[in-house]
Structure 1
């Protein structure tokens, strides 16, 4: 991923970082319906996203988190029966309460109505301190879904990165997005910007990966020392008119799950 063509030319977001932070940290990626501008939130004027092969690594570990009440997010297999996603994806937009686990499904390798495997959600764990009433704080916006049946094999399971990737680390972000919900769209040429601390503790991983509504819960991927792709973060918030996002560091989830 070294020398990514065009990456610098289409990434002016670092100069805009400070004025956009308040927007980033206030708006969950799945809760931005009806924004009054023509640009897709989190994507910007130049759209780098492309469909990817759901049978290829590392995308073969991703699937749609489907709610019976309507709507979807993206999730990643992190265990044979465990899916990592964003906690705000489990919140009812009407009651502002967590949904019943049995009202959610995980469709592994979803593409155009077909999928490799399916399981209903039996239970879930959200980050201690996460509030469904305000879908925050942003640094706690993660959840682990426990499926009724295992969907592995092991080559579909994505490991969690134990450390935050440093700035300029090459990243990828792929998910099921509301402008093209039937295919897995990915920005495969983006980078880490850095870490931002949150009031009251916790941190977020800032990145310039393009992704819009529906990408919530998708894994922000980085390569480990062995070259294999790992989950560096969980997509949570997006910018308004540029390719800019904030993710919960996977290291925070790994520390809590131990």
Structure 2
């Protein structure tokens, strides 16, 4: 499998500030601009936050900032590893600084828990101020102080990475809390993963996708819909601008982090 060199722009970064539920896209020459990460037409739409699997998704909050997270066990939330890196202090934040709110909608939430500890792919957490985060390792599992999954359920996580043939016909859905709609959960139905490739030597292959994910969507799940059920097959990490100028989302296949789950 050939390496694919890209310029990565972190639009799913943890710097998404809590703001209005209304769109806050930038203006250019008086025209409203879609956030980076929206590929063409904005296909995001709200969903019933009380229905499954949407009620398993929530915000991972710290000091007014947030990422998206999803319950993958009774007391575990899957999200992006870079959400725990504090760019201001240039250190990894402690788990107890984080709160997970399930069923969050317009300032209200159905469940709340604090973090106890988190696990990443690293034996020792790297200093991200001096080295980049390997994109295939941008996942973390946050253990909670309450078993929220008993009430809200939790996602079924696929053991295997989907083949290119399976991806071509898969019915995919991405769901997250975008910065410009920070108080509601939005989904992009029938988005697509275009291909799988390695970003660099030694890294695991990752998915390149066209789901509309932007700031705040880091850690958001990508599901495949099988009949009436949903399986988590990937975790949105960031957005990349390819050498061709095309903007693509980057997602970690579930096969990468599945062995670390309960």
Q: Normalising by the residue count of structure 1, what TM-score does the alignment of the two structures yield?
A: 0.83
Counterpart of 2:67 in 1: which secondary structure?
strand
The aligned residue for residue 27 of structure 1 is: 10
2:22 alignment partner in structure 1: none
Report how far residue 44 of structure 1 moved: 3.1
Match of 1:55 among 50, 57, 64: 50
Helix, strand or coil: the match of 2:91? Answer: coil
1:161-240 mapped onto 2 (5 Å cutoff): 161-165=158-162, 166-168=166-168, 169-199=170-200, 200-224=202-226, 227-239=228-240
| Partners of 2:104 and 2:126 in 1: CA distance | 30
- Sort the Cα spacing of 1:132 and 1:81 in 2 relative to 1 into closer, same or farther, 3 A: farther
Range that drifts further, 44-53 or 124-133: 124-133
Instruction: Name the residue aligned to 2:21.
Output: none
Please tell me whether residue 252 in structure 1 is matched to residue 233 in structure 2: no
Counterparts of 2:247 and 2:110, CA distance in 1: 30
State the 1:242 CA deviation.
Answer: 6.3
Q: CA deviation at 1:131?
A: 3.3
Q: What stretches of structure 2 of length at least 5 have no aligned partner?
A: 17-24
Provide closer, same or farther for how the CA distance between residues 231 and 154 of structure 1 changes in structure 2, counting only shifts above 3 A. Answer: farther
Shifted more, 212-221 versus 247-256: the winner is 247-256
TM-score normalized by the length of structure 2: 0.81
Runs of 4+ in 1 over 3 A off after TM superposition: 31-39, 129-132, 239-243
Does residue 146 (structure 1) correspond to residue 143 (structure 2)? The answer is yes
